[in-house]
């Protein structure tokens, strides 16, 4: 008789010292969330990534090199950290590189890109929210406070302030979403208030309502050369007025599109650029518009610098166009995506991650990334949700779920094949059976589907409410063990999803869940009470550490057999012993209060500890000068069948005494052996005559490292 073995679990070993902090890096290259701030006359000077109160990036040489601002003026509030209210950054007109920041109703100025900040001394009555500075007459400043605060103006760069009023009843000008200047007339400006157009001929002191012949959705621009010429947007057209908004004419587009922004060059033609779902250009001051061929993708923001359009293509990057838009040059960048999530480490150097519209892959530990699934280009409209799973043994096999259904690739994204899953296609989670790649679970609201033949036939299991689904890592060949997270609890099935055991009563308030590496049905869990352990798939829990109630993600250390890492909601990192449940604090952000927020995913990849955050992919860096080199035992655990016998040969490099344990998938210890390092390094022979056919978990612990394999025995 002969034993057949399939090895399915990658093993990583990690050696880390005490920590110093999280550093941004190794994320996919791209544009961080936020606006582009372009200098009016210097196309080499750009600021990007203005969001959430964190220092943005800037370039002084057109993108050849990028730096991050040294700091922001102050720590963001909890509201600002979520983007509400937004933080505004702008170049001060008439200066070469002075940057102004509106933050927390205060105005700050820096002339050295964040090394030093000066607070503006005289605030308007309701404080700063949005600041507009006249593009030609730089002494004229206009400010909105909160939504119902009146428009305030200054004629001396903010040293003194006055309130704008209407001519009809002397009421204040409120709910003015934006101020539009007539560059050629310093005293004329327009606002859109109460869905009506208002104009001032007194530099903002008094405003009169314009008796327009039609309502406009949004005022977008005032012509630089003609202060009476206005441009406004509707759903499928751009409207133009030549008499300060009294009458309007419309230029319609072939395809309906909502124009969100218009910018104008200061050239003789007054070239206009309009951004909707694509980019449009007019050389006759808005009478006719033509579509501009741009790099493929969805437009995100538009600016103009020295009459050159600067365009941000979503998840593509920055491009600067020629004056006629006929050619576009990518602006290099060396900063990272903010929107990386769902990170999977297939090996120490091979990772997959999800951005807003792509599945990205790196095979060099994050030094370079490639897209293997670009939903935005593949499908008719931008994706609302994207989820995926990957084979850990053959990472060329990836299954994705989009708004148009579920697809499968076996060649790392070169080609995708649609799987015939029944509509609707709002799946929130999918999972691949790592022992049978054609066996896939797909979860949507209230329903769980499963296919065992790569999508030819789908079966609907019992109705279940959950947000994430997954095969257990130690499944038998039929994949009967399934876990489902639901409403901050988790459910467990050992019959393929027909029947579920709801552990809600014992895991109420579940923040994070992690299976034990070496014992089936054993899990670690954190809820509002603290850190818990179960050995019976959640039927009962034992509270081990109440102080870990702040943890929001867990990951196995893999350096020590009885060790894991935990990260808090603020980014503090802890090392936890699963023997003594002692906690070592590697990084304490609760005490430092540095305003850093984790987003709940912690991944150990080789010698690296990674975390997804609102600042992108972060890596924990030791306070030692360098991390010790990783000892990768991924392929060092050798398990071989012996022909014509009921034995297996095991070899594992170690320098200390080790324990070899064989578990059944039900958690029973069927074999345990304590061996000397020389025996295990040279190889030992184990008898399997007393074992039946099935799936087993082989574990080796030597106090310094840990290794395991799923083993299938067929007699």
**Quick one: what percent of the chain has pLDDT higher than 90?**
19
More confident position, 512 or 348: 512
Q: What mean pLDDT comes out for the span 109-136? A: 88
Distance, CA of 679 to CA of 689 (rounded, Å): 21
Show which of 546, 563, 596 is a domain's final residue.
Answer: 596
The 10s digit of each residue's pLDDT in 144-168 is 866 677 899 999 999 999 999 999 8
Structure token digits, residue 277 = 């779902």
Q: What mean pLDDT comes out for the span 660-674? A: 69
C-alpha distances out from residue 536 to 10, 430, 464, 521, Å: 25, 25, 22, 5
In a domain, 435, yes or no: no
Distance, CA of 354 to CA of 599 (rounded, Å): 14
Domain count, the chain: 3
In a domain, 477, yes or no: no
pLDDT at 638: 60
Same domain, 254 and 116: yes
More confident position, 437 or 708: 437
Same domain, 117 and 255: yes
Residue with tokens 């101020």: 179
Least confident of 96-105, 247-256, 294-303, 586-595: 586-595
pLDDT at 504: 58
Q: What is the DSSP letter of 336?
A: B
Structure token digits, residue 288 = 């006719």
Q: Provide the 10 A C-beta neighbour count for residue 27.
A: 28
Same domain, 666 and 565: no
Same domain, 90 and 237: yes
Q: What is the mean pLDDT of the chain?
A: 78
Same domain, 576 and 655: no
The 10s digit of each residue's pLDDT in 253-309 is 877 788 889 999 887 778 999 998 889 999 999 999 999 998 877 788 888 888 899
Show which of 235, 267, 299 is a domain's final residue.
Answer: 267
What's the domain range around 531?
508-596
In a domain, 187, yes or no: yes
Same domain, 67 and 160: yes
pLDDT at 245: 93
pLDDT at 120: 92
pLDDT at 402: 83
The 10s digit of each residue's pLDDT in 350-392 is 888 887 677 888 887 777 777 887 655 444 444 456 889 998 8
Same domain, 546 and 651: no
Inter-residue contact 484 to 472 (CB < 8 Å) = no
Distance, CA of 147 to CA of 133 (rounded, Å): 19
Structure token digits, residue 188 = 């004329």
In a domain, 163, yes or no: yes
pLDDT at 118: 93
Same domain, 649 and 583: no
Same domain, 261 and 153: yes
Most confident of 399-408, 426-435, 573-582: 573-582
pLDDT at 15: 26
Q: Is the pLDDT of residue 13 over 60?
A: no
Strand order in the sheet with 638-641: 638-641, 647-651, 684-687
Tally of helices (H runs) and strands (E runs) in the chain: 3, 64
pLDDT at 160: 93
Q: What is the DSSP letter of 293?
A: -
Peptide bond preceding 424 in cis form (omega within 30 of 0):
yes
Distance, CA of 592 to CA of 589 (rounded, Å): 5
Structure token digits, residue 387 = 């989820």
pLDDT at 346: 82
C-alpha distances out from residue 486 to 65, 316, 416, 452, 499, Å: 46, 35, 30, 24, 15
What φ, ψ does residue 329 adopt, rounded to 5°?
Answer: -115, 125
Distance, CA of 228 to CA of 230 (rounded, Å): 6
CB-count exposure of residue 194 (10 Å: 0-12, 13-18, 19+)? exposed
Q: Is the pLDDT of residue 209 over 90?
A: yes
Structure token digits, residue 19 = 């920590």
pLDDT at 5: 28
Label residues 129-146 b or e (16+ Cβ within 10 Å = b).
bbbbbbeebeebbbbbbe
Show which of 267, 292, 320 is a domain's final residue.
Answer: 267
Give the CA angle between residues 346, 348, 352 to the nearest 5°: 40
Closest CA to 311 of 38, 44, 59: 38
DSSP of 467-519:
SEEEE-TT--TT---EEEEETTEEEEESSTTSS-EE-TTTSTT--EEEE-SSS
pLDDT at 381: 45
pLDDT at 56: 83
Residues with Cβ within 8 Å of 334's Cβ and at least 6 positions away in sequence, in order, are 29, 65, 66
Question: Residue 331: pLDDT band by 50, 70, 90 thresholds?
Answer: confident
Least confident of 406-410, 616-620, 658-662: 616-620
pLDDT at 156: 92
Sign for the CA dihedral angle at 251, 253, 257, 260 comes to negative
Same domain, 157 and 222: yes
Question: Residue 572: pLDDT band by 50, 70, 90 thresholds?
Answer: confident
Q: Provide the 10 A C-beta neighbour count for residue 654.
A: 22
Distance, CA of 590 to CA of 597 (rounded, Å): 10
Q: Is the pLDDT of residue 415 over 60?
A: yes
C-alpha distances out from residue 49 to 33, 83, 102, Å: 5, 12, 15
**Quick one: what percent of the chain has pLDDT higher than 70?**
77
Distance, CA of 430 to CA of 440 (rounded, Å): 7
Distance, CA of 280 to CA of 109 (rounded, Å): 35
Distance, CA of 442 to CA of 461 (rounded, Å): 10
Q: What mean pLDDT comes out for the span 421-444? A: 86
Q: Residue 35 belongs to a domain with what CATH number? A: 2.130.10.10
In a domain, 411, yes or no: no
pTM over 0.75? The answer is no
pLDDT at 380: 43
Q: Residue 659 belongs to a domain with what CATH number? A: 2.60.40.3080
Question: Residue 16: pLDDT band by 50, 70, 90 thresholds?
Answer: very low
pLDDT at 6: 26
Residues with Cβ within 8 Å of 592's Cβ and at least 6 positions away in sequence, in order, are none
Coil, strand or helix: which one is 100? strand
More confident position, 700 or 278: 278
In a domain, 659, yes or no: yes
pLDDT at 153: 93
C-alpha distances out from residue 581 to 91, 122, 510, 528, 541, Å: 53, 55, 19, 17, 15
pLDDT at 108: 92
Same domain, 252 and 149: yes
pLDDT at 624: 38
Same domain, 92 and 201: yes
Structure token digits, residue 626 = 């360098």
Question: Residue 615: pLDDT band by 50, 70, 90 thresholds?
Answer: low
Q: Is the pLDDT of residue 451 over 50?
A: yes
The 10s digit of each residue's pLDDT in 38-82 is 888 888 898 887 666 678 888 888 877 778 888 888 877 766 666
In a domain, 540, yes or no: yes
pLDDT at 709: 60
């Amino acid at each position: 008789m002969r034993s057949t073995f399939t090895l399915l679990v990658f093993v990583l070993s990690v050696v880390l010292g005490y920590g110093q902090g999280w550093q941004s890096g190794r994320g996919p290259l791209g544009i961080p969330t936020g606006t582009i701030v372009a200098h009016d006359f210097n196309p080499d000077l750009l600021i990007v990534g203005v969001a959430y109160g964190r220092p943005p990036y800037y370039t002084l040489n057109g993108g050849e090199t990028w730096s991050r601002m040294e700091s922001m003026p102050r720590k963001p509030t909890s509201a600002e950290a979520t983007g509400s209210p937004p933080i505004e950054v702008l170049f001060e007109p008439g200066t070469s590189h002075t940057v102004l920041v509106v933050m927390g109703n205060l105005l700050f100025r820096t002339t050295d890109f964040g090394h030093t900040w000066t607070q503006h001394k005289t605030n308007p009555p309701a404080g700063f929210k949005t600041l507009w500075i006249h593009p030609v007459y730089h002494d004229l400043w206009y400010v909105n406070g909160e939504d119902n605060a009146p428009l305030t103006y200054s004629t001396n760069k903010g040293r003194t302030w006055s309130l704008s009023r209407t001519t009809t009843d002397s009421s204040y000008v409120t709910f003015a979403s934006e101020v539009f200047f007539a560059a050629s007339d310093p005293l004329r400006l327009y606002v859109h208030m109460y869905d009506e157009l208002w104009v001032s001929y007194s530099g903002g002191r008094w405003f009169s309502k314009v008796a327009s012949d039609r309502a406009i959705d949004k005022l977008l621009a005032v012509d630089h050369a003609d202060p009476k010429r206005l441009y406004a947007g509707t759903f499928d057209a751009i409207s133009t007025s030549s008499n300060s908004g009294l009458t309007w004419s419309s230029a319609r587009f072939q395809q309906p599109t909502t124009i969100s922004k218009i910018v104008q060059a200061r050239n003789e033609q007054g070239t206009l650029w309009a951004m909707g779902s694509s980019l449009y250009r007019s050389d006759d001051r808005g009478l006719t518009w033509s579509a501009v061929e741009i790099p493929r993708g969805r437009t995100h923001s538009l600016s103009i610098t020295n009459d050159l359009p600067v365009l941000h293509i979503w998840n593509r990057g920055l491009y600067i166009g020629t004056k006629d838009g006929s050619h576009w040059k990518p602006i290099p960048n060396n900063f990272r995506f903010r929107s990386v999530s769902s990170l999977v480490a297939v090996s120490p150097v091979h990772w997959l991650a999800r951005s807003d519209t792509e599945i990205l892959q790196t095979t060099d530990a994050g030094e370079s990334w490639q897209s293997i699934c670009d939903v935005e280009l593949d499908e008719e409209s931008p994706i609302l949700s994207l989820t995926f799973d990957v084979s850990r043994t053959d990472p060329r096999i990836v299954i994705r779920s989009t708004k148009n259904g579920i697809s499968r690739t076996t060649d790392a994204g070169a080609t995708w094949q649609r799987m015939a899953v029944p509509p609707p296609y709002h799946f929130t989670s999918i999972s691949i059976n790592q022992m049978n790649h054609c066996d896939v679970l797909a979860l949507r609201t209230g329903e769980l589907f499963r296919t065992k033949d790569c999508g030819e036939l789908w079966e609907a299991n019992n109705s279940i409410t959950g947000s994430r689904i997954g095969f257990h890592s130690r499944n038998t060949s039929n994949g009967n063990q399934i876990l489902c997270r639901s409403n901050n609890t988790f459910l467990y099935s050992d019959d393929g999803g027909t029947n579920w055991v709801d552990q809600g009563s014992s895991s109420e308030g579940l923040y994070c869940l992690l299976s034990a590496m070496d014992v089936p049905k054993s899990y670690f869990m954190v809820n509002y009470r603290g850190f818990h352990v179960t050995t019976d798939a959640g039927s009962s829990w034992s509270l081990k550490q109440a102080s870990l109630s702040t943890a929001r993600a867990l990951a196995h250390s893999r350096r020590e057999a009885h060790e894991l890492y935990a990260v808090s909601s603020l980014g503090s990192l802890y090392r936890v012993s699963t023997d003594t449940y002692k906690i070592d604090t590697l990084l304490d952000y609760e005490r430092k209060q540095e305003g850093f927020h984790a987003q709940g995913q912690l991944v150990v990849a080789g010698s690296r500890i990674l975390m997804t955050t609102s600042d992108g992919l972060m890596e924990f860096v030791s306070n030692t000068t360098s991390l010790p080199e990783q000892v990768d035992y991924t392929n060092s655990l050798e398990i071989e069948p012996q022909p014509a016998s009921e034995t297996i040969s095991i070899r594992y490099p170690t320098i200390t005494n080790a324990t070899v344990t064989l578990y059944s998938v039900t958690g029973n210890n069927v074999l345990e052996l304590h061996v000397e390092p020389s025996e295990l390094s040279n190889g030992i022979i184990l008898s399997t005559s007393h074992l039946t056919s099935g799936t087993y978990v082989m574990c080796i612990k030597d106090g310094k490292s840990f290794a395991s394999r799923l083993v299938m025995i067929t007699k």
